[in-house]
């Protein structure tokens, strides 16, 4: 019986030693796993407000005649007058948007003439937009739409918004890290999300020099990012 007890004790000793030497260090493995999780990801939004300085508008002419050929010819003459008037009023980047011809039908389905349309887009400084509308209408334009406002320095405004977004992300991360009893480290990744300028209406006097008032207001350019920081 004594020999049996001694053998069991010796076996347990061997198993204990083998475990101490050959088994992995579980505490070390846990530390290695959590080391990669010592990061903090936050989002940041930055915005910049500015008064747009460019306006884009559409100007068109619709002409109706008994035949398609007559409608196209009359429309071409009328559109040339509108384009010349736009150029004289200071328009730039004049571009054809569409040209169309289609029949008018009576209730019984028979054709009652043809309509031809031609439309161009044009860009001007905001202060010249009202003059463009008046000049085009006087020259015969019967289809006017817009203006779409934009800033000539849109890229610079967006970069400013990006810088503000990074600053906001860092400020939020510092608050979160401090609340968790940690300190903020270096930035590991930054992911940018696209954004477009949106109208932000603010009071500004209308342009009174022309009969068509244009109020540009303000636009807000916004940038959104996601930033991952290391934390200690």
Specify if 2 maps to a domain: no
Domain boundary among 99, 128, 150: 150
Question: Is there a single domain that holds both residue 158 and residue 223?
Answer: yes
Residue predicted with more confidence, 211 or 231: 231
79: CB partners within 8 A, 6+ apart: 60, 61, 118, 120
Three-class SS state of 136: helix
Q: Strands 198-200 and 218-231: what pairing?
A: antiparallel
| Those residues with Cβ within 8 angstroms of residue 188's Cβ, 6 or more apart along the chain or in another chain | 39, 228, 229, 230
- Residue pair 140/84 in contact (Cβ under 8 Å)? The answer is no
Per-residue confidence (pLDDT) for residue 24, from 0 to 100: 39
Residue ending a domain, among 115, 150, 185, is 150
Residue 182, judged by CB atoms within 10 A of its CB (0-12, 13-18, 19+), counts as middle
**According to the per-residue pLDDT averaged within each range, which of 74-83, 107-116, 123-132 is highest?**
74-83
The last residue of one of the domains, among 150, 181, 216, is 150
Read off the pLDDT of each residue in 162-176 and give the average, rounded to a whole number. Answer: 94
CATH number of the domain where residue 67 is located = 3.30.70.2970
The confidence band for 88, taking pLDDT boundaries of 50, 70 and 90, is very high
Q: Which helix (H) or strand (E) holds 158?
A: helix 154-179
Q: In the predicted model, is pLDDT for residue 17 greater than 70? A: no
Domain that holds residue 83: 54-150
Rounded mean pLDDT of 164-179? 94
The 3-state DSSP class for residue 199 equals strand
pLDDT surpasses 90 at 152? no
How far lies 1's CA from each of 4, 6, 7, 153, 194, in Å?
5, 9, 10, 96, 81
Predicted pLDDT at 218: 80
Based on the fold, state whether residues 120 and 76 are members of the same structural domain.
yes
Number of domains present in the structure of the chain? 2
pTM of structure:
0.61
User: Rounded distance, CA 134 to CA 137, Å?
Assistant: 5
**What is the per-residue pLDDT for 153?**
87
Percent of the chain with pLDDT over 90: 59
| Confidence bin at 18 (pLDDT 50/70/90) | very low
CA distances for 231 relative to 74, 176, 179, 201, 227, angstroms: 72, 10, 12, 41, 13
Q: Give the chain's mean pLDDT.
A: 80
Peptide bond into 52 cis (omega under 30): no
């Amino acid at each position: 019986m004594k020999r049996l007890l001694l053998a069991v004790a010796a076996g347990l000793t061997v198993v204990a030693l083998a475990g101490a030497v050959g088994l992995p260090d579980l505490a070390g493995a846990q530390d290695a796993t959590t080391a990669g999780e010592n990061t903090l990801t936050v989002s940041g939004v930055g915005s910049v407000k500015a008064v747009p300085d460019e306006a884009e508008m559409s100007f068109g002419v619709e002409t109706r005649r008994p035949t398609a050929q007559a409608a196209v010819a009359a429309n071409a003459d009328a559109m040339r007058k509108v384009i010349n008037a736009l150029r004289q009023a200071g328009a730039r980047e004049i571009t054809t948007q569409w040209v169309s011809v289609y029949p008018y039908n009576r209730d019984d389905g028979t054709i009652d003439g043809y309509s031809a349309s031609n439309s161009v887009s044009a860009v001007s400084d905001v202060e010249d937009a009202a003059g463009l509308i008046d000049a085009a209408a006087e020259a015969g334009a019967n289809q006017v739409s817009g203006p779409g406002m934009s800033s000539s320095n849109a890229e610079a405004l967006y970069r400013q918004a990006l810088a503000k977004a990074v600053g906001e992300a860092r400020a939020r991360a510092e608050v979160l890290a401090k609340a968790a009893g940690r300190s903020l480290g270096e930035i590991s990744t930054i992911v940018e999300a696209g954004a477009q300028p949106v109208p932000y209406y603010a009071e500004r006097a209308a342009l009174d020099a022309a009969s068509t008032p244009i109020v540009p207001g303000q636009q807000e350019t916004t940038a959104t990012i996601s930033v991952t920081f290391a934390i200690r």
